[in-house]
Structure 1
Amino acid sequence: MKKGFFGVLFAGLFCIGPLFAQYKSTIKNETILYNNVDQLLPLGNLAQLRIAVVVPHAEKYAAFTSQLARYAAITLFGFSKFDEDIKYYNTIIVAGKEDDLDADCLSQLKQAVLNNKKVVLCHFFEQERNKRSLSEHPQSDLIELLAPFTELGQRNAAMSIFGGAAITVGNVKTAQSRLQYSSGENSNLNLGKLTKKIDAIAQEAIEKQATPGAVVMIIKDGQVLLEKSYGYHTYSKDIPTKTSDIFDLASVSKIAGTTPVIMRLTERNIINLDSTMGHYLWQAKYTNKKDIKLRSVMLHEAGFTPFIPFYKYLKAGDVVAVPDQQHQVKMADNSYILNHYYRDVMWPEMLKSPVKPTGNYVYSDISMYVMKEVAEHQTAEPLQDYVQENFYKPLGMTHAGYLPRERFAKEQIVPTEQDTSFRKTLLEGYVHDQGAAMAGGIAGHAGLFATANDLAIYGQLLLNRGEYGGERYFKTETIDLFTSKQSATSRRGLGFDRWDPNPKNEYPSKLANSTVFGHTGYTGTCIWVDPQNQLIYIFLSNRVHPQVSTKLLDLNIRSRIQDAIYETINEAKK
């Protein structure tokens, strides 16, 4: 009898099933909400919003605007040309103190409402008497918030707009529905001690040249407890690493790029994991892969060869330094490969490659090349567009995506290897993986770039078992199926890596538990999601700079930081 989509789940699912997300906000949020017209707040449907934020002084309201930008793409304006600036935006967030918001400004806000724009007005007060005065005269046709004009008050007001903080004061209340950026305010964990431990481990990694820099992010119970950057982009120390930097995620692309697409298509019965490659891919019908089931592919049990070094087989003229009509596919600065090289050479070679009997675990990048092909044939849409439209934009993952140099300045992107053998240049915003580069920077197994914050949002979506920001992206059963142990021969879920039951392996860390799932990346990245502790741990680095090195692994940097987190959690339980 065939296993159905929600059929037999292997050991491990029972650990995840009952563990729904548990937002445990402990912050004091003084924000008051009036007139929540059409129940607009917290803002949802982010993919459809074009948000303009208007403040009188950018510097004075930096805490407010920077916090808003953690949740969605915003464009910042002043008041001077209000009507013209906001013309092409459908959601307007205006903030100011009482003396900033004169009668003309309020009239323009009402005009914006008449022009079918959603307007959120945030009044800030400095003294209690101003608070009382403002609260007595809310504008009946505007959505209004009232908050203290302090750095904390600004952050909390911004979080309230997006559901990062629950509004509990006043008559109109809301619940938390997104990540809360509170630095662990009122947490029962000893975050000072934990931070010192992580600082020491990160500093060791930098001093021993395991990586020139890193970003560490920890989220627990929906609260960001720690978000910290270390070191520099390179050992020349020209650009300090920032928490907002964009990293090459390497194989984390498998679970944050390709796998969510497969999850969506599976639960909508667009693909069936127990159907074969030959069923979905015409080019596979007459190969040794025609009868391989997609489930085996997702588990890395399809018998594929682990790796094909395509770049070693390039012929003279396949790659040039200056683009021409035949070489339009950019692999790096001053490196262009022959048009359609992936379609005409790489993909056919993968289909012809030898296979071993299915059922044994052999980690292979070919698996996700295959799943990308299946997804694109079924959706009739490029993978990079599908994930943006269906996941990254609506979730507020504002920097996640492929080909980041097309959207961001290279200074925002952490460089990886000084490639001396293939592309012969420093890789800045171009995928490190050679095969993905030759495929145009977009592949099923690599090519995704993102910030730690982007991954934190995705991790919380998984912890929430498919829901985030008041919207449902997956059925709970889908999350449970893909993230739980699904193999009889390995620790793997479907696409996802998992905790290793062999204590000798101490993977992903010595103190991790059986509910933990996630993935690592070759460039020195990882995300691990722990339903038992409602925990997300993210580590991003460029350990392959300037050349590939095993020091990050040898020093056990990622695992030691993860264990420091568990030690802190366990101490708080005593």
Structure 2
Amino acid sequence: MPSLEGHGGGGSRALSAPRLRVDTPERAGLDPEEMRLLVLDVMDLTVGDRPWAAGAVVVAGRGPVIAVQEAAGWAVRYGAYDPERDAGVELAPQDRVPMTVDTPFDLASLTKLFTSVAAVQQIERGTLGIDARVGAYLPDFRGAAAHGLTVRHLLTHTSGLRPELPLYACADDAERLELLRAQTPVAEPGTYVYSDLNMLLLQHLLERLTGRSLDVLVHEGITRPLGMTSTRFGPCPGAAATEDQRRPWAKADRGMLRGEVHDENAWALGGVAGHAGLFSTGRDLAVFCRTLLAGGSYGPARILGPDFVELLLTPPGLGFAVDQPWFMGELAGEGAAGHTGFTGTSLVLDPATDTFVVLLANTVHPVRRTPDSAPRALAGTRLAMGVR
């Protein structure tokens, strides 16, 4: 399957669902040896001259119990990237910033999951039809309207729209908007083509429909009711560093990034975009996973009803990818759902075993490289083995 990394409502009262607590693997019903190996695996990812990531955080659990919550490596290790040596320029030890379990990360394409939940909240309210035509809500988006694209097409990456656009190269917001409005499918609608444009169109649709910006929809409908106080669109000054972003390897000359969105298009759009822009922590994302595993409720808050969580996670998934071994490992196979992000982020939740694993890493620090999801798959496999 192609990469998932990318190039409002809720808050109503329901019967209280258990909140997460930190406890032992045994109390979570997980094998302690497999959880110990999971931690060691993550620590190994951050060591050496060319590690998989400068730093990483892993949070994993079962039911309402967090059984693993560990950090390794550095939130900031490099001051720059040296293209002649193809290596990072390391900061002096006293200038580096250690990774902690509370370090926020640029989520990159994990943002798409929140945009998808915001859309399904509107579907639950009856204000948005899943098979309604995009043109009914955005008639000025001529390409989508002319080709009969639907909300389902956007949520399942089957619109046929191209993977991305050089919005960062446009002169201003008006030119960016016009470019989006004119986009037509490059593949037959119904064909799977993973595309950031799907979530950008969905963002415009939601904002037009509700009269509220996406950041407000996410805050009011998801993060505030769930108490996810560390999840927000940037800037986020204390976040793990990402890339020394310069041409020719990047699409813009911005220098070493920390707390500003890595994705160039999201940056050009002001940091709030349907496909990228959110920052969060491992603990907050564990709450997000637990909420969906509990049918949309966490504590006294409900952001979705169980039927609509099922709609969100039923294959092929709305925004979420379902049963993808290439990043889920052996958790895949019985309805596990999740996503990855280009900066090194990922999450997987498995309703069949009531488990979740969040792996956050700054793999693009100090520079982007060919994505490697083998460590993510291994984390999923460790968790799956811990259940057996």
Superposed pair shares fold, TM > 0.5: yes
Q: Given that residues 59 and 69 in structure 2 are in contact (C-alpha distance below 8 angstroms), is that contact kept between their aligned partners in structure 1? A: yes
Bigger Rg, structure 1 or 2: 1
Deviation, 1:288, is 5.8
Q: Given that residues 139 and 145 in structure 2 are in contact (C-alpha distance below 8 angstroms), is that contact kept between their aligned partners in structure 1? A: no
Aligned position for 1:394:
225
Q: Given that residues 529 and 537 in structure 1 are in contact (C-alpha distance below 8 angstroms), is that contact kept between their aligned partners in structure 2? A: yes
**Residue-by-residue CA offset, 1:346-366 (whole Å, 9 max, x unaligned):** 121122233132111000000
Aligned position for 2:97:
239
Q: Quickly say closer, same or farther: Cα 1:197–1:288, change in 2 above 3 A.
A: closer
Q: Quickly say closer, same or farther: Cα 1:350–1:206, change in 2 above 3 A.
A: farther
* 2:108 maps to which of 250, 257, 277: 250
Contiguous gaps of at least 5 residues in structure 2:
1-9, 78-90
Q: Given that residues 342 and 371 in structure 2 are in contact (C-alpha distance below 8 angstroms), is that contact kept between their aligned partners in structure 1? A: no
Q: Quickly say closer, same or farther: Cα 1:221–1:290, change in 2 above 3 A.
A: same
Aligned position for 2:60:
218
Query: How many residues are aligned here?
Result: 356
Superposition CA RMSD, Å:
2.3
Q: Quickly say closer, same or farther: Cα 1:366–1:187, change in 2 above 3 A.
A: closer
Aligned position for 1:230:
72
Q: Quickly say closer, same or farther: Cα 1:302–1:226, change in 2 above 3 A.
A: same
Q: Counterparts of 2:136 and 2:145 in 1: how far apart (Å)?
A: 13
Q: Does 1:305 align with 2:162?
A: yes
Matches within 5 A, 1:5-44: none
Q: Quickly say closer, same or farther: Cα 1:291–1:550, change in 2 above 3 A.
A: same
Q: Counterparts of 1:285 and 1:193 in 2: how far apart (Å)?
A: 53
Contiguous gaps of at least 5 residues in structure 1:
1-44, 49-173, 319-340, 486-491
Matches within 5 A, 1:433-444: 433-444=263-274
Deviation, 1:310, is 2.9
Q: Quickly say closer, same or farther: Cα 1:303–1:286, change in 2 above 3 A.
A: closer
Q: Counterparts of 1:286 and 1:359 in 2: how far apart (Å)?
A: 15
Aligned position for 1:363:
194
Q: Given that residues 518 and 526 in structure 1 are in contact (C-alpha distance below 8 angstroms), is that contact kept between their aligned partners in structure 2? A: yes
TM-score of the superposition, structure 2-length normalised? Answer: 0.86
Deviation, 1:199, is 1.2
Aligned position for 2:241:
415
Q: Counterparts of 1:498 and 1:206 in 2: how far apart (Å)?
A: 31
TM-score of the superposition, structure 1-length normalised? Answer: 0.59
Q: Percent identity?
A: 27
Q: Does 1:271 align with 2:128?
A: yes
Q: Quickly say closer, same or farther: Cα 1:301–1:176, change in 2 above 3 A.
A: closer
Letter aligned with residue 334 of structure 2:
S
Letter aligned with residue 377 of structure 1:
R
Letter aligned with residue 274 of structure 1:
D
Q: Given that residues 284 and 290 in structure 1 are in contact (C-alpha distance below 8 angstroms), is that contact kept between their aligned partners in structure 2? A: no
Q: Given that residues 322 and 332 in structure 2 are in contact (C-alpha distance below 8 angstroms), is that contact kept between their aligned partners in structure 1? A: no
Letter aligned with residue 259 of structure 2:
G
Q: Counterparts of 1:440 and 1:526 in 2: how far apart (Å)?
A: 24
Matches within 5 A, 1:332-371: 341-342=172-173, 344-355=174-185, 356-371=187-202
Greater relative contact order, per chain length (Cα 8 Å cut-off, separation 6+): 2
Q: Counterparts of 1:390 and 1:382 in 2: how far apart (Å)?
A: 12
* 1:521 maps to which of 318, 333, 341: 341
Deviation, 1:469, is 0.6
Q: Counterparts of 1:357 and 1:521 in 2: how far apart (Å)?
A: 26
Matches within 5 A, 1:546-565: 546-550=366-370, 552-553=372-373, 556-565=374-383
Deviation, 1:428, is 1.1
Q: Counterparts of 1:186 and 1:293 in 2: how far apart (Å)?
A: 45
Q: Given that residues 331 and 350 in structure 2 are in contact (C-alpha distance below 8 angstroms), is that contact kept between their aligned partners in structure 1? A: no
* 1:537 maps to which of 348, 357, 362: 357
Q: Counterparts of 2:228 and 2:328 in 1: how far apart (Å)?
A: 25
**Residue-by-residue CA offset, 1:483-502 (whole Å, 9 max, x unaligned):** 111xxxxxx311111103xx
Aligned position for 1:177:
18
Q: Given that residues 401 and 450 in structure 1 are in contact (C-alpha distance below 8 angstroms), is that contact kept between their aligned partners in structure 2? A: yes
Letter aligned with residue 294 of structure 1:
V
Q: Given that residues 482 and 494 in structure 1 are in contact (C-alpha distance below 8 angstroms), is that contact kept between their aligned partners in structure 2? A: yes
Deviation, 1:296, is 1.0
Q: Given that residues 210 and 543 in structure 1 are in contact (C-alpha distance below 8 angstroms), is that contact kept between their aligned partners in structure 2? A: yes
* 1:198 maps to which of 39, 43, 47: 39
Q: Counterparts of 2:349 and 2:194 in 1: how far apart (Å)?
A: 21
Q: Quickly say closer, same or farther: Cα 1:524–1:263, change in 2 above 3 A.
A: same
Q: Quickly say closer, same or farther: Cα 1:193–1:271, change in 2 above 3 A.
A: closer
Q: Given that residues 181 and 223 in structure 1 are in contact (C-alpha distance below 8 angstroms), is that contact kept between their aligned partners in structure 2? A: yes
Q: Quickly say closer, same or farther: Cα 1:178–1:418, change in 2 above 3 A.
A: same
Q: Counterparts of 1:204 and 1:214 in 2: how far apart (Å)?
A: 8
Q: Does 1:381 align with 2:223?
A: no
